[in-house]
Amino acid sequence: MRERVAIAGLGYTAFTSVSPGSSYRELTYEAAVKAYQEAGIEPKDVDSFVCTSEDMLEGYSISDEYCNDQLGAVLKPAQTIPGDFLHSLAVGVMHILTEKFDIVVVQALSKASNMKTIPDLLNFAFDPVLNRPLDVTAYAVAGLEMNRFLVEGRATREQCAAVVVKNKGNALRNPLAGYGAAITVDHVLDSEPVAEPVRMLDIAPYADGAVVMVLCSEKLAPSLTDKPVWINGIGWASDSPTIESRDWSDAVAVRLAGDMAYRMAGIACPSKEIDLAEVNDEISFKELQHLEALRLFEPGQAGKATEDGKTSLDGTLPVNVSGGGLGVGHLFECSGAQKVLELVLQLRGEAGSRQVPGAGVGLAQAWRGIPTTSAAVAILSA
């Protein structure tokens, strides 16, 4: 059997709409200190560091150069992935599977509150020659996609709103979450239109925070932790960037990333074998689309399942019990880290009032957000 990689140390900050008391350095430092303390290690014990950072989000060119001090990675092997934390996690897993590295640290950070022109920044992700001159908001991509999803009968508008109600409600039980609220479907449907059918409350609001995890080899795990969480499978995939010819109703990259992770984890029937899932819900309908892409529900069934409470905390497949992006906040490249963090807490039985009873196998899925088509998936077990 293939050797597994363990998560042996977990460190994180709260996720908040602003974080004026800390620079990005102190945020990551706080998470790193906690992670190293849990695993009983010091930076000198770490064989490699993998950070997650994107220049345009940080406002620095070559922002990877600014990652090292606050992780204790100075004068050590370190590298940075411009993607989601789950992409960095995949790199960390690969390092350990080479058997050349025993302990690897993976980090991600969001300082969304420091980005003063996020809509402009998202617009800047459009193709500069073909799309940008049209002066259309990047949220239009979410509107175009959601419209197609609804018109094809994959879900109703109300079912999409039910995702928001569920996730913001779950966040009320998560002390780390910044956007918990007790709202109704009507609140969502009556909120300001943004890019119809997407309305204001369908969109995950931005948040700051940092997550650091210590990974280690299966051999070393017992010496670092008595509550390892195992990474059984990990996968990632990207579709074409071409707006003009992408699939507008299915998240194909999520399906491919999920299948890759399932293969590695030896999962044949995801809907029976996964106990809980933290999936990307940056826009309400994406949770439904992603659940179907991950084969956790048949096409067109995730919306009804949500309405029926199957994805609620006490349902058959709890989804985004942390609150997800809608309830915790959208963390840009740190989004996937918050999902893995929630799974680790759940699989260790440390999730407090939102604990899923008997959580044994969890799935975390990330999407790089509008207007991208890149995704990554990890399968974890206790």
Partner 1 sequence: MELEKFELGATPLKDSAIKEGKVLTVAKKPNLKYAWDNGPAIGRYLAELKEGRIIARKCNKCRRIMIPPRMFCELCWRPTDEWVYVEDTGTVNTFSICYVNWDASRIKKGEKPHLPAVIEIDGASPGMGILHVLGEVEPEKIKIGMKVRAVWKKPEEREGSITDILYFKPVRG
Which residue type, as a one-letter code, is found at position 311?
T
Q: Which is nearer to partner 1, 20 or 358 (CB)?
A: 20
Q: Which residues bind partner 1 (CB under 8 A)?
A: 19-26, 29, 36, 42-43, 56, 58-59, 68-70, 72, 74, 111, 113-117, 120-121, 124, 128-129, 132-133
Q: How far apart are CA 168 and CA 184, in angstroms?
A: 10
Q: Which is nearer to partner 1, 31 or 254 (CB)?
A: 31
Name residue 16's beta-bridge partners: 208
Q: Which is nearer to partner 1, 56 or 97 (CB)?
A: 56
Around Cβ 229, how many Cβ atoms within 10 Å? 24
CB of 208 to partner 1, least distance (A): 9
* Site of tokens 């399906």: 255
Which residue type, as a one-letter code, is found at position 132?
R
CB of 53 to partner 1, least distance (A): 14
SS3 342: helix
Distances, alpha carbon 172 to alpha carbons 169, 181, 232, 277, 318, in Å: 5, 6, 30, 18, 15
Q: Which is nearer to partner 1, 94 or 115 (CB)?
A: 115
CB of 132 to partner 1, least distance (A): 6
Q: How far apart are CA 206 and CA 282, in angstroms?
A: 10
Q: Which is nearer to partner 1, 74 or 200 (CB)?
A: 74
Q: Which is nearer to partner 1, 114 or 147 (CB)?
A: 114
CB crowding 177-207: b at 16 or more within 10 Å, else e: bbbbbeeebebbbebeebbebbbebbbbbbb
CB of 313 to partner 1, least distance (A): 34
Six-digit token string for 54: 């994107």
Q: Which is nearer to partner 1, 137 or 238 (CB)?
A: 137
User: How many residues are present in the chain?
Assistant: 382
Q: Which is nearer to partner 1, 68 or 355 (CB)?
A: 68
CB of 8 to partner 1, least distance (A): 18
Contact between 331 and 293 under an 8 Å Cβ cutoff? The reply is no
Six-digit token string for 12: 């994180």
CB of 229 to partner 1, least distance (A): 25
* N-terminal to C-terminal alpha carbon distance within the chain: 17
CB of 337 to partner 1, least distance (A): 20
CB of 325 to partner 1, least distance (A): 22
Q: How far apart are CA 126 and CA 248, in angstroms?
A: 16
CB crowding 143-170: b at 16 or more within 10 Å, else e: bbbbbebbeeebbebebbbbbbbbbbbb
